[in-house]
């Protein structure tokens, strides 16, 4: 974290939009910066998609769906292509984990043993399902035959967040590809690098042109264009509730496209007197500080019954102080930097809110180091809460609130 430390920067090979099987500049020629959260330095200049580029990507996806071979392949053939893409991902695990590490501040080690393998497993799961999409025969009255036939919906717009760039990419595209759909993906503007690399690998795997299109850009422009596009049949989004509402509205105002939303939430932990305190401390630490708190189900509140409250708080403070903050490419690091300057400043503002509202700061609360977007693991106690439960066990609960970034 010191200003004199050297950081490893992976080679950035792909910075343009991926439309119809080719890497191309944005129609406007505009680019935006993606920065390394370890230093704040620019990693690359990325082509910035706007409505015109989304139109081109959707047009390519529509052509591939209506006239291309992907929806007309057997499920077995689609599955084979998806498995080939998974094979290429496994061959490039180190490089892919490094891209997410440098772009998002994620731990390189966990990327290699969790994020990329989980993305591969997700893709292989749906590859195996591609030839198992069946309808049903229905018993109906009279001299009639009833049956259902499941068909691909068409062009799917996909908008993913920055906290798990690889996992979210394949969580969304894998079922769409298995069904025979074509996709237009807008990765988060903070973390476009791995999505572009996956597009390159998809081309190498033999997935036909136009089936996967990747258009990095910003929500109010590229994202809005996808959500309101008359030729997008379905849109999938993971992110904030506020943006989820905008996507539902845009979808309704356009062509009533189907919408799949996964939105952020608050996830309290409740720990009772009969719990194993050491285990509870370790699990609560992991629940909030894993992935530097940038998890939509991060355990940002901990309710502890009064019989073990003091012991829990004392041990939780020590655990937080032992959680090493540092370069995510260092195998000894537990927590890297927040994803970008905006998230870094948001977390620091939340910490200041906690102080101003009378909560007791037990540990952390400051920037860690003098460079990059690192923040000390932080715990508040004596947080003012309103308890609505009438159950006695809940009325006796106290709270110890961790503060770190959340993806909502």
Annotated catalytic residues are 262
Q: What are the angstrom distances between the C-alpha of 51 and each of 55, 97, 229, 285? A: 6, 30, 9, 43
Q: Which residues make Cβ contacts (< 8 Å) with residue 102, sequence separation at least 6?
A: 8, 9, 10, 36, 38, 43, 193
Contact status, residue 168 vs residue 199, Cβ threshold 8 Å = no
How far, in Å, CA of 10 to CA of 100, rounded?
A: 10
């Amino acid at each position: 974290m010191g200003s004199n430390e050297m950081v490893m920067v992976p080679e950035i090979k792909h910075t343009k939009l991926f439309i119809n099987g080719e890497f191309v500049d944005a129609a406007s020629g505009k680019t935006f910066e993606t920065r390394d959260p370890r230093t704040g330095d620019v990693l690359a200049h990325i082509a910035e998609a706007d409505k015109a580029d989304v139109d081109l990507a959707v047009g390519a996806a529509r052509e591939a769906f209506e006239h291309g071979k992907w929806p007309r392949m057997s499920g077995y053939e689609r599955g084979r292509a998806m498995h080939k893409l998974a094979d290429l991902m496994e061959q490039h695990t180190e490089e892919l984990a490094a891209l997410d590490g440098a772009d998002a501040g994620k731990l390189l080690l966990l990327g290699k043993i969790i994020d990329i393998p989980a993305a591969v497993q997700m893709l292989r799961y749906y590859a195996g399902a591609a030839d198992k999409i069946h309808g049903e025969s229905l018993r109906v009255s009279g001299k009639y035959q009833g049956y259902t036939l499941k068909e691909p919906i068409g062009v799917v717009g996909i908008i993913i967040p920055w906290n798990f760039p690889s996992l979210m990419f394949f969580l969304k595209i894998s079922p769409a590809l298995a069904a025979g759909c074509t996709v237009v993906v807008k990765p988060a503007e903070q973390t476009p690098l791995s999505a572009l690399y996956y597009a390159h690998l998809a081309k190498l795997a033999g997935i036909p042109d136009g089936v996967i299109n990747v258009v990095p850009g910003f929500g109010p422009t590229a994202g809005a264009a996808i959500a309101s596009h008359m030729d997008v049949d379905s849109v999938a989004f993971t992110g904030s509730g506020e943006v989820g509402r905008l996507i539902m509205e845009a979808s309704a105002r356009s062509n009533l496209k189907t919408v799949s939303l996964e939105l952020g939430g608050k996830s309290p932990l409740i720990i009772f007197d009969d719990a194993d305190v050491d285990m509870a401390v370790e699990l609560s630490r992991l629940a909030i500080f894993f992935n530097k708190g940038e998890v939509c189900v991060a355990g940002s509140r901990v309710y502890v019954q009064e019989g073990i409250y003091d012991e829990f708080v004392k041990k939780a403070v020590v655990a937080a102080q032992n959680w090493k903050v540092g370069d995510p490419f260092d195998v000894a690091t537990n927590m890297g930097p927040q994803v970008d300057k905006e998230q870094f400043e948001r977390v620091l503002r939340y910490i200041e809110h906690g102080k101003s509202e009378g909560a007791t700061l037990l540990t952390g609360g400051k920037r860690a180091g003098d460079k990059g977007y690192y923040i000390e693991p932080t715990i508040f106690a004596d947080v003012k809460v309103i308890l609505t439960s009438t159950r006695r066990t809940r009325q006796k609960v106290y709270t110890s609130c961790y503060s770190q970034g959340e993806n909502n």
